[in-house]
Amino acid sequence: MPRKLAAILSADVKGFSRLMADDEAATIATLTAYRRIITQLVGQQQGRVVDAPGDNLLVEFASAVNAVCCAVAIQQRLEIENQKLSRRRRMEFRIGVNLGDVVAEQGTLYGDGVNLAARIEGLADPGGVCVSASICEQVKNKLNLSFEDHGLHRVKNIAEPVRVFRVFTDETPGGDEVRGQVPGGRPTRVLLVDDHQVFRSGVRSLVEDEPDLEVVAEASDGRQAVLMTRLHQPDVVLMDISMPDLNGIEATRQIVQAGGSSRVLVLSMHSDPRFVAGVLEAGAHGYLIKTCTAREMLSVIRLVGQGLTYLAPEITDLVVKGFVGRIEGAPAGPPASSLSPREREILQLLAEGVGVEDIAQRLGLGAKTVKAYRHNLMDKLNLANMVELVRYALREDICSLDNWLSK
């Protein structure tokens, strides 16, 4: 039988039987949702789900570093998801990771390498990660994480005592120093984009209280956001949607198309499917609702900065149920997605009451060119006058009602 060395991640849910006894349907729904998240994270770390019976999970990695990164990412992400549930309904996984010799047979893995990962998992706290000495030795100088020696343990069906280490993540002692740092060990650099200065100031205070996060710049509209991203190259652009001059969807599209490493995390008051569709199509890496807690916002900034994707539960429901693109009462006629980026820019400015000469000056175009865009837009969208143009822009969320009324 073929043998190989592999990093094995074993996980299960603490108190799963109680959760099932309390509410079987809700427990299965939560487990299904969490498995979807875990599978995504496993894929991002080049892992393979070997088996997932009941509430258990067995994953194989070729790299010990990838296995530990995945374990930490799973616990960080599920902690955020659990904040949406009552304490009694929270589903907390224990994770154990081991590097050892395994037997591979028809896609399944056997041997002490697998068994030891499962025994180490049983020593982990709910929401925690424990690893073997072999894993710790491999990753301790390669990842910016802390490990606590939990001593030697005798475990079932393993002849010799096993030394186990606890990984510090998020709420564990010493974890705050490392949890938001991007590869390379430096803090996650954040650009704040919102047209309300008071809101930006509040978010800045929260972010700058975290030793692993750093605000590098602020922007009050989408056009500034594109410029500040180019100048500062932040890891995360925390982006509002409804802003004057250039909205967050268009700003996101331009930032993504520029091809840099910055990742856009939308923080908006809107959960309307049209906003969600627009910003995801533009290339955003995450979407949060402004009703989220400060703790959730900071955790998601860290996740997005580390290369992961996050959608608020409200948004996930919309996407999963296929609401995007099937909105009841959606207006007939070409959708805004049929317009070019320049057409959307000019449409927003026209709808916000900006004059042709001012638009020409802002965009570096001739007045005749702007007038031609206006004529072509009205013809393309089958609009009879400027009133219909404004209605269309509001309806398609190209222009916000607040911005329009303030003109």
Q: What is the pLDDT of residues 315-347, one digit of tens each?
A: 765 555 543 344 344 444 566 667 888 998 899
pLDDT score of 328 = 41
Spatial contact of 150 and 161, defined as CB atoms under 8 Å apart: no
Helices (H), 96-221: 112-123, 133-139, 197-208
Within a domain: 331: no
- Give the domain-ending residue among 177, 207, 239: 177
Residue 280: in which H helix or E strand, if any?
Answer: helix 273-282
Same domain, 298 and 377: no
- Give the domain-ending residue among 156, 177, 198: 177
Residue 176: band (very low, low, confident or very high) from pLDDT cuts 50, 70, 90: very low
- Give the domain-ending residue among 177, 196, 219: 177
- Number of domain units in the chain: 3
Within a domain: 200: yes
pLDDT score of 22 = 92
Same domain, 32 and 157: yes
Same domain, 61 and 131: yes
What average pLDDT is seen over the chain?
Answer: 84
- Residue scoring higher pLDDT (222 or 279): 222
Same domain, 141 and 10: yes
Same domain, 95 and 158: yes
- The CA-based dihedral angle spanning residues 308, 311, 313, 318, taken in that order and rounded to the nearest 10 degrees: -140
Within a domain: 286: yes
Within a domain: 328: no
Residue 238: band (very low, low, confident or very high) from pLDDT cuts 50, 70, 90: very high
Same domain, 30 and 168: yes
- Say if residue 251's pLDDT is above 90: yes
Same domain, 170 and 219: no
pLDDT digits (tens, 9 = 90+) for 189-228: 999 999 999 999 999 999 998 888 999 999 999 999 999 9
pLDDT score of 168 = 81
User: What six digits make up the tokens of 10?
Assistant: 């074993």
Within a domain: 361: yes
- Say if residue 178's pLDDT is above 60: no
pLDDT score of 329 = 43
Structural domain containing residue 392? 336-405
pLDDT score of 94 = 96
Within a domain: 114: yes
Q: What percent of the chain has pLDDT over 70?
A: 86
**Any idea what the CATH number is for the domain that residue 102 is in?**
3.30.70.1230
C-alpha to C-alpha distances, 21 to 86, 89, 114, 224, nearest whole angstrom: 16, 11, 29, 53
**Any idea what the CATH number is for the domain that residue 261 is in?**
3.40.50.2300
pTM of the model: 0.53
pLDDT score of 157 = 76
SS3 of residue 160 by DSSP? coil
Residue 231: in which H helix or E strand, if any?
Answer: helix 222-232
Same domain, 160 and 134: yes
Same domain, 87 and 219: no
- Residue scoring higher pLDDT (272 or 153): 153
pLDDT digits (tens, 9 = 90+) for 49-68: 999 889 999 999 999 999 99
Same domain, 35 and 150: yes
pLDDT score of 126 = 93
116: closest CA among 104, 99, 129?
A: 99
Within a domain: 326: no
pLDDT digits (tens, 9 = 90+) for 371-382: 999 989 988 888
**Any idea what the CATH number is for the domain that residue 352 is in?**
1.10.10.10
User: What six digits make up the tokens of 120?
Assistant: 């180490």
Same domain, 203 and 83: no
Same domain, 300 and 377: no
Within a domain: 230: yes
